[in-house]
């Protein structure tokens, strides 16, 4: 059996505030919405992929005021460094604090949605670096500068190789 990731559903307090963040800041579109059952809470489905009915859904059932404590973060891969920069600009425009962190194999931005759910947007670098690793990077760098920084910062790690030269079998490692 091969499992393939499909979607995540978040329990939220303020549907409209969350929808504004995910549509305006992160570029999702609402694909459908409606009550889960007669007189039940509303579920809203969102996607960025025309072939996926939903990649994310939100249900207005959360009652507590504390940040969620069972979910660390959701991670979204983007296809280019420029897209990381676009997300950075949108986060700054939305006055959302973020933490630029590189794992050597990625350049990431970590932040939270309006209800405190942890999020990561990342771009894969050309390298594989043994994990866990992490270093704050300057999100104002351009792509060439950022890649040079990654190489300089992580090249002395136990495993630092071009991605295509890495052992790609990660499952069942000791």
Residues 163 and 141 in one domain: yes
pLDDT digits (tens, 9 = 90+) for 149-173: 999 999 998 888 888 887 655 544 4
Residues 121 and 155 in one domain: yes
**More confident call, 68 vs 135:** 135
**Count of other CB atoms within 10 angstroms of residue 18:** 22
Residue 109 · residue 84 · CB < 8 Å: yes
Q: Is residue 66 part of a domain?
A: no
What's the predicted TM-score (pTM) here?
0.81
pLDDT digits (tens, 9 = 90+) for 81-126: 999 999 999 999 999 999 999 999 999 999 999 988 889 999 999 9
Place of tokens 């425009």: 93
Position 107 scores a pLDDT of 97
Q: Is the dihedral of CA 87, 79, 155, 159 positive or negative?
A: positive
Residues 81 and 156 in one domain: yes
Q: Is residue 115 part of a domain?
A: yes
Position 172 scores a pLDDT of 43
Position 36 scores a pLDDT of 83
Q: Is residue 50 part of a domain?
A: yes
Q: Is residue 116 part of a domain?
A: yes
Q: Is residue 37 part of a domain?
A: yes
Task: Give backbone dihedrals phi and psi of 110, rounded to 5 degrees, phi first.
Answer: -105, 140
Cα gap 3→39, rounded to integer Å: 34
Cα gap 79→173, rounded to integer Å: 27
Residues 76 and 54 in one domain: no
Q: Is residue 174 part of a domain?
A: no
Residues 31 and 80 in one domain: no
Cα gap 64→12, rounded to integer Å: 9
CA-CA distances (angstroms) from residue 77 to 72, 86, 150?
Answer: 16, 13, 18
pLDDT digits (tens, 9 = 90+) for 40-77: 889 999 999 988 889 999 998 888 777 666 677 889 99
Place of tokens 């983007």: 78
Position 1 scores a pLDDT of 52
Domain that holds residue 27: 1-61
Position 51 scores a pLDDT of 86
């Amino acid at each position: 059996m091969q499992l393939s990731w499909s979607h995540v559903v978040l329990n939220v307090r303020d549907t409209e505030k969350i929808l504004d963040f995910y549509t305006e800041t992160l570029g999702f579109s609402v694909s459908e919405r409606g009550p889960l059952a007669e007189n039940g809470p509303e579920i809203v489905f969102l996607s960025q992929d025309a072939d996926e009915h939903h990649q994310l859904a939100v249900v207005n059932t959360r009652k507590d005021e504390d940040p969620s404590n069972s979910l660390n973060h959701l991670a979204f891969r983007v296809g280019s460094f420029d897209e990381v920069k676009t997300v950075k600009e949108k986060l700054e425009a939305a006055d959302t604090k973020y933490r630029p962190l590189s794992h050597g194999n990625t350049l990431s931005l970590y932040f939270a949605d309006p209800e405190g759910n942890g999020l990561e947007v990342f771009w894969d670098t050309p390298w594989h670096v043994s994990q866990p690793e992490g270093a704050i990077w300057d999100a104002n760098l351009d792509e060439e500068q950022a890649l040079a920084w990654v190489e300089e910062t992580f090249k002395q790690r136990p495993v630092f190789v071009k991605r295509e030269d890495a052992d790609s079998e990660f499952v069942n490692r000791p």
